[in-house]
Structure 1
Amino acid sequence: MEDLPSSDLEDLCFHINTKISTIKKTLQLRSIGQEPSLRSMLCKTGQEMALLHDLLNKTEAEVREQEKLKNLLKELQKSAEREQLEARHLSENIPTHLPKPTQSCPAGPAVKCEEQTKAVEPERAKKATKEPRVIKEITLITAEEFENVPGYMKGRLTYEQINTVVQDLNKALQSKYKILHQPLKSMSAPVRNLYHRFQEEETKDTKGKFFIVEADIKEFTQQKVDKRFHGILDILRHCQRLREVRGSRLVRYVVC
């Protein structure tokens, strides 16, 4: 039998000594319970351990309650963010045709009332001719629609991220069609160039429709036209908010 290296012998001696020490401590603890002077101390220690165990149980229960409260607060925050997006969309898209209160005629002869009515009608006719054209926008995605989007399309996208892109698309639509509705004489040279580009991008399939292209998004918004952006466009097409019209190496995103 070959001699063991000194390091192995030292490890073996350390292991044996540790076992002996553990056995000694076990025998000492067993004998403590037999000594009358130490029994009261053991009883107190047992009581303290029971109290500590009860305190730990209460702490765990409180932690679980706090976790539930945290989850509820997260849901409340998401709901508040959705409401905020919808409220912002409503405030930015107030209908231009709102019913106005009828003007009542003051007490007096019928002739005066007729004269006032005739005077008001031409004014209303003038205002009607100056009313801006309504620009069709993309409606926000609802929470229910978002839940029904296939998981492979959503990936890590959130409901709020999709509606933020919708708002940017609407901003580009508003900017583009405000230029198209302006008289040419009032335009500066850069704006006139945009106007002519818009006209060239029009096709028979987009006639009378509202659409934008990637150049409009880059021109009027800070939105990055990247892979994530195109993934959101796929979701908007799935939810029937947009459709694509291709031609002349250009993709037109038409509002449904």
Structure 2
Amino acid sequence: MSDLEDISQHVHDRISSLKRLLDLSLAELPQNKMKKLGQEIFAIETLLEEFEKCVDHQREQLRNLQELEESFQKDLADVSHMKDNIPAHMPKREGPAQTREPVMKQTEAAVLQPAQQEHVRKSSRSFIREMDFITVPEFDSIPQYMRGRVSYEQLNAAVQSINTAVTTKYRILHQAVRTLNNHSRKLQQRFKEQETKQTKGHFFVVEEDIREFNQMKVDKRFQGILNMLRHCQRLKELRGGGLTRYVLL
């Protein structure tokens, strides 16, 4: 802006000088004065061209600043939207896909010490698989007729409830019988009786487990949520013996 002001002031001074020369032109001027008048006019024309270039440059800078401001405002709006819409649950990293112990070669098994073998067994038994939370794109992919009035937060709250039931169930299953009270022993026995060949190596719960560990109503609305979780490939159903088993995928 200072360059533009300097040029403007310089042009103004030259025009003032030119006016004085024109005022003097009413009288007869010597040839050298007429020549100087022509030089002044030429100089002012040159300055006006520079002035126009400077104005164009300033316009370009103003346009760039306006575009930068628009981009900044858009980024600010996006950040504000993300701040106001942080999901209650974030997707977790995928855990180990298999819960079974790795198969070792006979030579490797022979070298492995008994204490190390016991550690491997305990580590495998202590792992409990949980269902990953539903992401926003996954939720948007669920057909509207299937979603009904269930919100994104409500769906992930159900995921959390199922994870609580799974974790509580398998902690009881992994405990030694002598460490359990009477109620937990009955639960452990029930869990074992509900297992089948199809559920071996998988984690599952039944409706009774969800009610037992969450005090939730397993009603028609919850059945609709289970359908959405099947659609998102979080679980599958296995039926048999009068039970529906919800197996985590």
CA distance in 2 between partners of 1:147 and 1:216 (Å): 29
Counterpart for residue 89 of structure 2 = 85
Q: Which has the larger radius of gyration?
A: 2
In the alignment, which of 141, 149, 155 is matched to residue 156 of structure 1?
149
* CA pair 73-171 structure 1, distance change in 2 beyond 3 A: same
Counterpart for residue 218 of structure 1 = 211
Unmatched segments (≥5 aa) in structure 1: 1-71, 96-121
Counterpart for residue 69 of structure 2 = none
Q: Structure 1 counterpart of 2:207, which letter?
A: E
* CA pair 128-247 structure 1, distance change in 2 beyond 3 A: closer
Q: Structure 2 counterpart of 1:199, which letter?
A: K
* CA pair 207-161 structure 1, distance change in 2 beyond 3 A: same
Q: Given that residues 237 and 244 in structure 2 are in contact (C-alpha distance below 8 angstroms), is that contact kept between their aligned partners in structure 1?
A: yes
Pair 1:140-2:133 in alignment = yes
CA distance in 2 between partners of 1:123 and 1:189 (Å): 32
Shift of 1:124: 8.7
In the alignment, which of 155, 177, 183 is matched to residue 184 of structure 1?
177
Q: Given that residues 86 and 140 in structure 1 are in contact (C-alpha distance below 8 angstroms), is that contact kept between their aligned partners in structure 2?
A: yes
Pair 1:250-2:243 in alignment = yes
* CA pair 147-190 structure 1, distance change in 2 beyond 3 A: same
Q: Given that residues 95 and 129 in structure 2 are in contact (C-alpha distance below 8 angstroms), is that contact kept between their aligned partners in structure 1?
A: no
CA distance in 2 between partners of 1:233 and 1:73 (Å): 33
Q: Given that residues 90 and 135 in structure 2 are in contact (C-alpha distance below 8 angstroms), is that contact kept between their aligned partners in structure 1?
A: no
Pair 1:199-2:210 in alignment = no
Shift of 1:77: 2.7
CA distance in 2 between partners of 1:154 and 1:221 (Å): 22
Q: Structure 2 counterpart of 1:254, which letter?
A: V
Shift of 1:193: 0.3
Q: Structure 1 counterpart of 2:140, which letter?
A: E
CA distance in 2 between partners of 1:126 and 1:182 (Å): 15
Aligned runs of 1:46-57 on 2, under 5 Å? Answer: none
* CA pair 208-127 structure 1, distance change in 2 beyond 3 A: closer
Shift of 1:126: 8.1
* CA pair 77-227 structure 1, distance change in 2 beyond 3 A: farther
Q: Deviations over 1:19-71 (max 9, x none)?
A: xxxxxxxxxxxxxxxxxxxxxxxxxxxxxxxxxxxxxxxxxxxxxxxxxxxxx
Aligned runs of 1:70-109 on 2, under 5 Å? Answer: 76-78=83-85, 80=86, 82=87, 84-86=88-90
TM-score (norm 1): 0.54
Shift of 1:85: 1.3
Q: Structure 2 counterpart of 1:190, which letter?
A: H
CA RMSD of aligned residues (A): 2.9
> May I ask how many residue pairs the two structures share in their alignment?
157
Q: Structure 1 counterpart of 2:144, which letter?
A: G
CA distance in 1 between partners of 2:207 and 2:167 (Å): 15
Unmatched segments (≥5 aa) in structure 2: 1-78, 97-113
* CA pair 200-123 structure 1, distance change in 2 beyond 3 A: closer
Shift of 1:214: 0.5
Shift of 1:223: 2.1
TM-score (norm 2): 0.55
